[in-house]
Structure 1
Amino acid sequence: MDSPRLSRRLLRSVLPALALALATAGLAGTGGPSSAGAAPMSKAAATATTTFSDEFDGAAGSAVDGSKWQIETGDNVNNHERQYYTSGNKNAALDGQGHLVITARKENPSNYQCWYGTCQYTSARLNTSGKFTQAYGHVEARMKIPRGQGMWPAFWMLGSDIGQVGWPNSGEIDIMENVGFEPSTVHGTLHGPGYSGSGGIGAGYTLPNGQAFADAFHTFAVDWAPNSITWSVDGNVYQRRTPADTNGNAWAFNKPFFLILNLAVGGYWPGDPDGSTAFPNQLVVDHVRVTTNDSQPPATGGRITGLAGKCVDVAAAATANGTPVQLYDCNGTDAQKWTVGSDGTIRALGKCLDVASGGTADGTKVQLWDCNGSAAQKWAVSGARDIVNPQANKCLDVTGNNSANGTRLQIWTCAGTANQKWTVNG
């Protein structure tokens, strides 16, 4: 694609929620009963902790759950798309059978105006900005995509800092895109600084024997970890990307992102509908699920060293909830043996590194606490040696840049300073 899919008008509707997302960056997860007839979660996520789930259970004609999704409105000049995204349940509604149906129609019931004049089509676009963001994990949607020239369904993510840094510096992870003239192929793509638009980094996945994606439900997923993203369709991995693929440009994906679902009509990439395109046309979504990574931490840990070569240490090797975590001379004791798991936790003495009371403010102290799967216990270790709590979007920090034994550790706005740099198993 040649330009970001966030139009000027859509930005006006998204940015207020983005401000909230930047303030909270929270992991808001709830799960309802499985949709009738829904496929089980794919193997990659089967043993992981669910942080977000929408099974789209509800009465036919109902709008989506407003605690999980917001509905964007407007057109999109950047890609020369033809649709106007409407509010409420006009073009996005539950079908009463455990599905969300996003419907594109050739109509203009309210004299909507688009970049090209009077709009010719309506459709819908949903996102979780300000309601759910997450860094890393398994992200999947089970969907049946539409058929026809000019149709452009997508399941994708944007960095929650887009309101601060703009696109493409925010990063964009396209989990699934399809353009109607390729009925058997979907695409997964990364966009970031120096590799955006038509220069995005990605690959396609094609069904065998001429099958079309519109004929059945398929599960589209990414498995996302620090410095790597892997795409799959129905559990079949078809590409993996790391910072080595960005040709020296910044890797924009070690931070929280939010989810987006939409069905566009027309645009530079898919081209416009023609006489062969049937309307109304539908994207049917069975579920959207986000989990932590499913790999279990190793049984033994190692030290985490930081300022002045000292270690992250559990005070007095105590295991009581609330025990301070501090900086101390490295001594090889169990109080300094930490396991960094792909589930996002950092553990010692059988408990988790925890942000006190789930706080997000600068100066909130960290402690040892029973592992409970909360956002206060999720951490991301970056290639730049930062240890980040995605909920707060802040770094593990030595208070006051003080290397004395017993100095408490806290979270603080990431600044790249020596008291925020850590070497795991160092």
Structure 2
Amino acid sequence: MRVSAKVLRYLSTIAVTAAAATALPASVQAAESSAMLPREGTIRTFAGKCLDVHRGSQANGAPIIQYACGAGKANQRFAFIPVGGGLHKIHTTHTRGKCLDVANKSTRDEAPIIQYSCKPGGSDANQRFRIVADGGDRVIIKTFAGKCFDVKGASTANGAPLIQYRCKAPGDNANQRFRIVA
């Protein structure tokens, strides 16, 4: 029996549609979300500013702040390194071997986000973050404590610190939503 090309195309379309409708395992979904992140870029705040390692410091403990975005400002660029389980390390690119870090492994609200020497192998929980899509081109960045990156006090000023804070409800969380720009 001979099958026409038209019937083969129809059957192929059905097979592709059925395969697409099948739920993907969590590990594949995590890999796909990682693939959607650029390898490197700026992290833009709700105020249109960029996350910034304060004064371009290379020291451990330097605070992460928001500041007016500037072309070529290396201290405003970050690399997003998958470490498994849908988590990422966020490396500072202006200094070698530094990562974003929840200061002192704190689980409290208002703990500062700082730059600190990267721990090997992605094993240090306070340097691993879950980057979650939050509609459109916005993301929420969650810490090991289940809290969110937050521009303190919803400030729009240069120099406002980045902290971790309980995640707020949609509509009340503008200062916890970020855009990652390659």
TM-score by length of 1: 0.31
Q: Secondary structure at the match of 2:133?
A: coil
Structure 2: state its 5+ residue gaps.
1-21
- Structure-2 residue corresponding to 1:328: 67
- Structure-1 residue corresponding to 2:161: 408
Q: Cα gap change, 1:424/1:229 in structure 2, threshold over 3 Å: closer, same or farther?
A: closer
Q: Give 1:347 shift.
A: 1.0
C-alpha distance after superposition, 1:239-280 (max 9, x if no partner): xxx7xxxxxxxxxxx9xxxxxxxxxxxxxxxxxxxxxxxxxx
C-alpha distance after superposition, 1:314-334 (max 9, x if no partner): 000001000010010001300
Q: Give 1:361 shift.
A: 1.1
What letter is aligned with 2:102? V
**Bigger CA radius of gyration:** 1
Question: How is 1:27-426 mapped onto 2 (pairs within 5 angstroms)?
Answer: 202=23, 224=27, 228-229=29-30, 298=39, 301-332=40-71, 333-343=73-83, 344-348=88-92, 349-350=95-96, 351-372=98-119, 373=122, 374-384=124-134, 385-389=139-143, 391-415=144-168, 416=170, 417-425=173-181
Question: Which has the bigger relative contact order, CA under 8 A and spacing at least 6?
Answer: 2
2:150, 2:53 → 1: CA distance?
15
C-alpha distance after superposition, 1:373-417 (max 9, x if no partner): 31000011111110111x201110000111111111000111141
- Structure-1 residue corresponding to 2:9: none
2:114, 2:158 → 1: CA distance?
16
C-alpha distance after superposition, 1:94-141 (max 9, x if no partner): xxxxxxxxxxxxxxxxxxxxxxxxxxxxxxxxxxxxxxxxxxxxxxxx
Q: Give 1:224 shift.
A: 2.7
Q: Secondary structure at the match of 1:419?
A: helix
What letter is aligned with 2:141? I
Q: Give 1:202 shift.
A: 4.9
1:223, 1:338 → 2: CA distance?
26
What letter is aligned with 1:365? P
C-alpha distance after superposition, 1:211-262 (max 9, x if no partner): xxxxxxxxxxx6737xx157xxxxxxxxxxx7xxxxxxxxxxx9xxxxxxxx
1:341, 1:223 → 2: CA distance?
18
What letter is aligned with 2:47? A
Instruction: Tell me how many residue pairs correspond in the alignment.
Output: 140
Q: Secondary structure at the match of 2:82?
A: coil
2:30, 2:56 → 1: CA distance?
37
1:381, 1:392 → 2: CA distance?
14
Structure with greater helix share of residues: 2
Q: Give 1:418 shift.
A: 0.7
1:229, 1:425 → 2: CA distance?
20
1:338, 1:229 → 2: CA distance?
20
C-alpha distance after superposition, 1:273-311 (max 9, x if no partner): xxxxxxxxxxxxxxxxxxxx9xxx94xx21110121000
Deviating above 6 A after TM superposition, structure 1's stretches of 4 or more consecutive aligned residues are none
What letter is aligned with 1:335? N
2:75, 2:102 → 1: CA distance?
18
RMSD: 2.4
Structure 1: state its 5+ residue gaps.
1-200, 204-221, 231-241, 243-253, 255-292
What letter is aligned with 1:383? A
Q: Give 1:356 shift.
A: 0.2
1:359, 1:310 → 2: CA distance?
26
2:30, 2:156 → 1: CA distance?
36
